[in-house]
A and B are shown apart, each in its own frame.
Chain A
Amino acid sequence: AQSVTQPDIHITVSEGASLELRCNYSYGATPYLFWYVQSPGQGLQLLLKYFSGDTLVQGIKGFEAEFKRSQSSFNLRKPSVHWSDAAEYFCAVGPNDYKLSFGAGTTVTVRA
């Protein structure tokens, strides 16, 4: 069975500082991996995805993620956080593009 763990429930970061959100997955084969962001009262927006190829994936809004098979991880990073990055972030894994399993989410607070 596939599963996703996001170890950090809540992260607070200063504006302009770097951000890293952790994601560990459990899946038997090479998974499809995704990061989504959800702003309050909104649906989820796809930040980036990994299917195969280069293990460093670039996404929208200046985010990137690195797939590390040996660590079963797909951590999300941003070099310099903006106040508008305050939101909830979800990592997801699946055998393909559907029937994804989502992590519990990490809430990011940005302080001035």
Chain B
Amino acid sequence: DSGVTQTPKHLITATGQRVTLRCSPRSGDLSVYWYQQSLDQGLQFLIHYYNGEERAKGNILERFSAQQFPDLHSELNLSSLELGDSALYFCASSQAEGGYTFGSGTRLTVV
């Protein structure tokens, strides 16, 4: 157990739907990062939050949004889902210069 908790582990949904992925960071970590892992794109950085504030954006689609709450957990919202959004979505948390600690991911399948 890495200490980073992601729910759900698996999600199957239809095109056009909206889903919410949840992440609880390791105790004491203020930073949360979201990554998408797919076979064709590899690991892509989506977004970074630090203590509730958005710090950096990567290749995140406009249909996707995220937020970090006062208790530091984060949610990634994916809307108007397309088949190509099927991927593993990872959350990671970190302390300064510690390197990331990754959760075990949410596997999203869009059918």
Is chain B found bound to chain A in the same assembly?
yes
A1 to chain B, nearest CB (A): 12
Q: Does A89 contact B (CB under 8 A)?
A: no
Q: How many A-B residue pairs have CB under 8 A?
A: 55
Number of interface residues of B (CB under 8 A): 24
Cross-chain contact of A44 among B56, B97, B102 (Cβ < 8 A): B102
- Whether A100 pairs with B100 at a CB distance below 8 angstroms is yes
On chain B, the residues within 8 Å of A36 by CB distance are 100, 102
With both beta carbons as reference points, the residue of chain B lying nearest to A100 in the complex is identified as: B45
Q: Does A45 contact B (CB under 8 A)?
A: yes
Query: Chain A, interface size: which category?
Result: 20 to 34
On chain B, the residues within 8 Å of A102 by CB distance are 42-43
Binding site for B on A (CB under 8 A): 32, 34, 36, 41-46, 49, 51, 90, 96-105
Q: A44 with B90: in contact, given A99-B48, A99-B56, A100-B100 (CB under 8 Å)?
A: yes
